[in-house]
Amino acid sequence: MTYISRGGLNNLGGDGMQPSDRRRHRYGETGKAGWYFWFPFLMGLMFLVLGVPMLIGAAAVPAAAGGLVISGGMFLLLGAGFLFWAFYARRDIAKVEPDAPLPGTMSEQTVTELETTGIAAQGTITGFKYVAGSSEEGTTLVELELDVSTGRGITLHKVHRSRMPLKLNNRLAKGATVPVRVSTTDPSKLLVEWDGLVPAS
């Protein structure tokens, strides 16, 4: 079985998302921005409500026009800024962007290509190490050192990163074997078929 994941990257602190991504993740499905919209929207309306009468007062009372025009103009600018923030946040949150693949995950196109045209081979694990902080969605990223035998008298030494199901941890060891598929056109492309992992004897 080939393991393909469409989960988001989780390589930051906490939940692994930047603030804008967190807002989209929380509100994007419904398109409702909550207080990310309403707070700046209400602040913008408040400044506009205060600024417009000041400008009207400046026209009605010429003696106080200087101060009222400056204050009213500043309030209008603040109000416009807050309203821009509110509508920008709502539009940004409403966007639903596809999640980036987990590190070490191949694209479906590459997986399909290797499954259909790749050369079936056997890899012997000569070394491995786990990539710290990469465990997610039941898999973890492992850097493998493999001696890959194609059955044609050719053995290739490969260093390859692949996402391994966590349930196979107890099978992974030096000397274990695992079926792989190697691209016929680009030997750097390698698909590890983890279900066939056999512990070292």
Q: How high is the pLDDT of residue 27?
A: 52
CA distances in angstroms from 68 to 12, 80, 95, listed in the order given? 48, 18, 41
Amino acid at residue number 177 = T
Q: Are 76 and 113 a contacting pair, CB within 8 Å? A: no
Domain residue extents for the chain: 30-94, 108-196
DSSP state of 14: T
**DSSP-based three-state secondary structure for 126:** strand
Whether the model pTM is above 0.85: no
Q: Which of 31, 150, 14, 159 is nearest to 93 (CA)?
A: 31
What the block records as the tokens of 127 is 């070394």
Q: How many residues does the chain have?
A: 201
Beta strands in the chain (DSSP E): 119-130, 139-149, 155-165, 177-182, 190-192
Q: pLDDT tens string for the chain (201 positions)?
A: 333 333 333 333 344 444 455 555 555 555 566 778 889 999 999 999 998 888 888 888 777 677 888 888 899 999 999 999 988 888 877 766 666 667 777 778 888 888 888 888 889 999 998 887 778 778 888 999 999 887 777 788 889 888 898 898 888 889 999 999 988 888 778 889 998 999 887
